[in-house]
Structure 1
Amino acid sequence: MISIVTRGIINYPNLLTLQIPRLGNTAPEVKIQSLSKNYLLDNLALQTSQSRFIFPLKPSILNKAAVPPSSLRAIASVNSVYLPVTIGQPSGQYEFVFYTSRRAKFPVFEVLHNGKVIYKNSRRNAQNGEVVFTWNGRKAPAGRYQVHLIAEQERIGRPPDKFERRYDFEHNPNWLI
């Protein structure tokens, strides 16, 4: 997984604010990137507020690197628990982005809460590069959730290479509004 965000921007504002929910008192590890533009920003100097960490970013840096808002990816974690990054304003849904260097099918994408599947989707057509799944969690209660993913990467002349991953993430419906 290369990104878990909620975003409500089409164009960059004068000052772009990234917000990451707090999980205890530990500052998260945060990475911002655009694979299409080979852009990476990490080791961010986060500011703290009561319930979130904040990173104000002047979009002139992104504009200079020709990074369009739609290609901006962000990921944050504390002790292997992922936290959704709000880019600008929330959009009402989470965007989970995965990357595959080879063409792959994604027969299973599930969001689980307390071990029960509450949302599922799939991608049956093989594609490579960034693969985006969305989930509207506005009606789901706050708490720890898990993404379960199964992918089948194509290999020339051989059976597909299957892999399965699980990612724990924190959710609060207030982060989506």
Structure 2
Amino acid sequence: MGDSLLSLLTEEQGRWAEANGREARKALAEFRVATEAAGCRLPSLGVDTQTVTGSVVVMLGGAPPDEVRRLTRYVLAGVAALAAEEETAPADDDPAPGSVSLMWTPYDGQLVVDCGTDRPGLFRGADSDRWRLAPVVHDSGPDWLADPFKVRPGEPKDRARAETALINANRKRWVS
């Protein structure tokens, strides 16, 4: 027989934590470059993975008050600049032709949740402007296309939810 649900969840949680860890390390590197450019030295920056939950956080650590105040001034100046940009930006939500949009993209086979349908699925690639998702449990239904802006990374609880729903559906068929 196949792997147990617990081992599958543990494996998925490890993949999820690893992917989030990569993202956290990238975010940390970008933050370190930005703070150093602002003249702020934050020596305690780091990434921490919670062993029980598998969640990953960027630890901002401690800094002397003068460094925090300097960073605060830069953040507030950036907020003001972004607000001014938004006031002058065109109301049209469509990006200009040829513009680049930075967006999270899952890896092939990554557990995701289509928030438009509230269904967990596995990322299978992009079809034009949609993402192709497959059911979490093999042969439990057809693939579907989802709006990438309505898809979030899945968590182990999402896989458990999908597998539990399938088990319950099979039980109903067996009883009938």
Q: Where on the TM-score scale, by shorter chain, does this alignment land: which range?
A: under 0.3
Bigger Rg, structure 1 or 2 = 2
Where relative contact order (Cα < 8 A, 6+ residues apart) is larger, the structure is 1
Q: State TM-score, norm by structure 2.
A: 0.27
Q: State TM-score, norm by structure 1.
A: 0.27
Identify, as 1 or 2, the structure richer in strand.
1
Identify, as 1 or 2, the structure richer in helix.
2
